[in-house]
Amino acid sequence: MSTYIEIETSELSDMMATKPMLLVDVRNDDEVARGIISGAIHIPLALLPLKYDQLTKAENVVFYCHSGARSAHAAAFASSKGCKNVYNLIGGVLAWAKAGHPFVAKDEGNKK
């Protein structure tokens, strides 16, 4: 059975500071052009079946999208493929922005 954990923006913020993770934005290119959460990589939901092997090496994988619906599908898919510690950000970037968290340009997203 595939399972994943729903997390709030405050939990994601704490995790980003304390746990190694792969943060995955599954929105479309035009949405990502407006900004991405710092540290995230961009894999559009439609391409996830082709690129999920990138996720299997991560200890924790957190998915997000615009509102949380597409990322829930991504989280269920990754979990069904054997990824461990899979999370979905409730409310997506809408909740992230409402909580006052910043975004960066896509090219700056995965620089660490």
Catalytic (active-site) positions: 65
| N-term to C-term CA, the chain | 34
Closest C-alpha among 23, 31, 73 to residue 48: 73
Helices (H) and strands (E) in the chain, counts: 6, 5
Residue 6's beta-bridge partner residues?
88
Closest C-alpha among 86, 79, 30, 81 to residue 63: 86
